[in-house]
Structure 1
Amino acid sequence: MAHIYISIVSHGNDDDIINNSNLKEINILDNVTVIIRDNLSSPKLKTYCAANYFMYNASDAVLGFGANNNINFEVASNLGMNKTDWFVLFNPDLDISAAMINKLSASLGNYSSQIFAINLFFDDKFSKMENSLRKFPTFCSFFNVLKGSSFTKAYDKKKLSYGGAVDWAAASFLAFKSDLYKQLNGFDENYFMYYEDVDICYRANKYFNQKVIYLPDIKAVHQGAYRNRNVFSKHFRWYLKSLLRFLFKSTFGMKK
């Protein structure tokens, strides 16, 4: 059975991680290793990880989402991750049961694809689905904003077939075959935050003919903050900068 290496990056998310009892159960599964990257070097989180046998590493400087996950990929490789194992991006504010991780592990071997997304919800009753599966944006997508719509068009999850392919999925939870992540050189670290997930899915599709496969019966709750929606925030500035980088890169072939 392939091993699953879960990569979590904490930007001050101590309480999200510490209070997540499911994460402790996931970490003791035989074929799972949870790696927590602490972007703020919190003594509290370090102590908790040591007491509960999470693989912990910390940053000397504040790094972006992509850079931190790339470091976790190196950690996983040093732990023995091979090309047939799975590297899973996992937001600290995400909650999924150990049973669902076992179900995911059993499902991954049924496909030749190398990127998978799951079904994210806003509530633990799984009644309010998050629009976490979307189509690639283009410069024409700016017209969506003028019409009062989201910049990127979301797929209707209810109309997607099991194992259906989508352009990209939010990195809140995204599973990569280890070998593909390595061939992609991981995330483009020029994105500090936002659109690095769009970019890596785009490159996987364009250069390796790998589309994201959707597994609707693998369910998790995501407590997304959506701080980029405040136009006066630094998160909105990061969002806009990353968006423009992706559009120029995908349209004009700008190199990484």
Structure 2
Amino acid sequence: MIHIAIVSHGHEELLIASNLGGLLQAGEGIRVWVKDNKPSARLKTYCHEHLVTYFDRMPGLGFGENNNFLYAQIKSESGFQQDDYFVVLNPDLSIAPETLLALIEQMKKDACVLATINLYRDQEYLTSDANIRRFPTLFSLLRMTIKRSITKNYDKKNMRSACHVDWASGAFLVFDAMHYAALQGFDQAYFMYFEDVDICYRSQQLLGKGVLYYPQFKAIHLAAHKNRNIVSQHAIWFFSSFMKFLSRRYFLYQRQKPLSASNWAK
């Protein structure tokens, strides 16, 4: 089973218009779970009418905690089997069901436990989304002042076959469900931003499983980038999370023992 986790932050109109990212009628083998972080009566009604599991408990959680919440609910209500997958999907992302199914089949062939795909910002697949990047370093703040970008993105034009990358955007991440358990989910110390960087780094550093990027599979991501205004709350979250990741990378993870699934996998 492929379990799709979607967290809405006031995205009810977008989710309804897109039929839950194109996955509403995905068929057998794919199940969508929705967590409404800003409860909407319209989205709740829509989900109930289409037999989509919907939660509006505990609104106002951060990105990582919301996805951990959904993982826990899936485990409680459905249970995870050995070959199940947990997909983190932004509410502003759309993907064809056949693309998702083909991706999962390829992941199985490659024994891949964490993957992403080629995201675009337009329906014509002309404008590439920089969803795969290098890990931030101590020099990233200097880079920010010069390049206005805290990390370096990969040149997708020259990436024609599957390959490992440092980290991929949380807009679309596919986990083997047991691997997500071994990682103990997202680090909830991050309220917003860098949770995706952190979980990809832990996967590589602590479990030896880097992110595999599949350029042949495509989806559309209508990114907002609310952190660009330096006086916004999003900017505060962004830089706070950035410093948190650096402190973990250089002072915690280098000395930490490999993770175990603990109670997550039980």
8 Å Cα contact 2:26-2:97 kept in structure 1: no
1:97-147 deviations in Å (ceiling 9; x for gaps): 122122223222111221000110011111111111001011111221232
Aligned residue for 2:228?
Answer: 229
Tell me: CA distance 1:219–1:26, structure 2 relative to 1, closer, same or farther (3 Å).
farther
Residue 60 (structure 1) shift? 2.9
Is 1:49 the counterpart of 2:38? The answer is no
CA distance in 1, matches of 2:157, 2:173: 19
**Aligned twin of 1:135:** 134
The answer on whether the counterparts of 1:26 and 1:101 sit within 8 Å (CA) in structure 2 is: no
* Counterpart code for 1:14: E
Give per-residue Cα distances to partners, 1:155-187, cap 9 Å, x unaligned: 111222422000000010100011110011100
1:33 aligned residue: 31
Tell me if 1:245 matches 2:244: yes
Q: Which residue of structure 2 lines up, in the alignment, with residue 202 of structure 1?
A: 201
Q: Which runs of 5+ in 2 are unaligned?
A: 257-266
Counterpart of 2:118 in structure 1 is: 119
Q: 1:9 to 1:179 in 2, by over 3 A?
A: same
Matches within 5 A, 1:149-228: 149-228=148-227
Compute the TM-score of the two structures, normalised by the length of structure 2: 0.91
The code of the aligned residue for 1:67 comes to E
Deviation larger for 43-52 or 96-105? 96-105
Structure 1 distance, partners of 2:59, 2:23, is: 30
Query: Distance in 2 between the 1:153 and 1:25 partners?
Result: 32
Partner amino acid for 2:175? F
**Structure 1 residues 135 and 63, CA gap change in structure 2 (3 angstroms):** same
| Deviation (angstroms), 1:198 | 0.1
Q: Distance in 2 between matches of 1:250 and 1:25?
A: 36
Which range moves more in the overlay, 21-30 or 234-243? 21-30
The farther-off stretch of 83-92 and 24-33 is 24-33
> In terms of mean alpha carbon deviation, does 76-85 or 111-120 score higher?
76-85
Q: Does 1:70 align with 2:68?
A: yes
2:75 aligned counterpart, secondary structure: helix
Matched residues in 2 for 1:27 and 1:67: separation? 27
Return the offset for 1:153. 0.6
Q: Secondary structure at the match of 2:173?
A: strand
RMSD: 1.7
TM-superposed CA distance for 1:22, in Å, is: 6.5
Q: For the residues of structure 2 that align with 1:236 and 1:145, how far apart are their CA atoms? A: 13
CA distance in 2, matches of 1:117, 1:72: 20
Deviations 1:60-88 (A, max 9, x none): 33100100000110122121222321100
Helix, strand or coil: the match of 1:139? coil
For residues 146 and 231 of structure 1, the distance between their equivalents in structure 2, rounded to whole angstroms, comes to 12
- Give the TM-score normalised by the residue count of structure 1: 0.94
Once the 2 structures are TM-superposed, how far is the Cα of residue 23 of structure 1 from its aligned partner?
3.8
Structure 1 residue runs without a partner (length 5+): none
Amino acid in structure 2 at the alignment position of 1:156: D
Q: Distance in 1 between matches of 2:106 and 2:215?
A: 11
Q: What letter matches 2:101 in structure 1?
A: N
Cα deviation per residue 1:19-48 (whole Å; 9 max; x = unaligned)? 113745454421101000011221111100
For 1:24 and 1:100, the matched residues in 2 are separated by 11
| One-letter amino acid of the structure 1 residue matched with residue 116 of structure 2 | A
2:91 counterpart SS class: coil
**CA distance, structure 2, for counterparts of residue 25 and residue 247 of structure 1:** 36
Q: Structure 1 pair 22/61, CA: closer, same or farther in 2 (3 Å)?
A: closer
- CA separation in 2, counterparts of 1:122 and 1:153? 19
Give the share of equivalent positions with the same residue, in percent. Answer: 36
The alignment of Structure 1 onto Structure 2 pairs a total of residues equal to 254
Question: In structure 1, the residue corresponding to 2:175 is in which secondary structure?
Answer: strand
Q: Which moved more, 1:115-124 or 1:80-89?
A: 80-89
Aligned twin of 1:59? 57
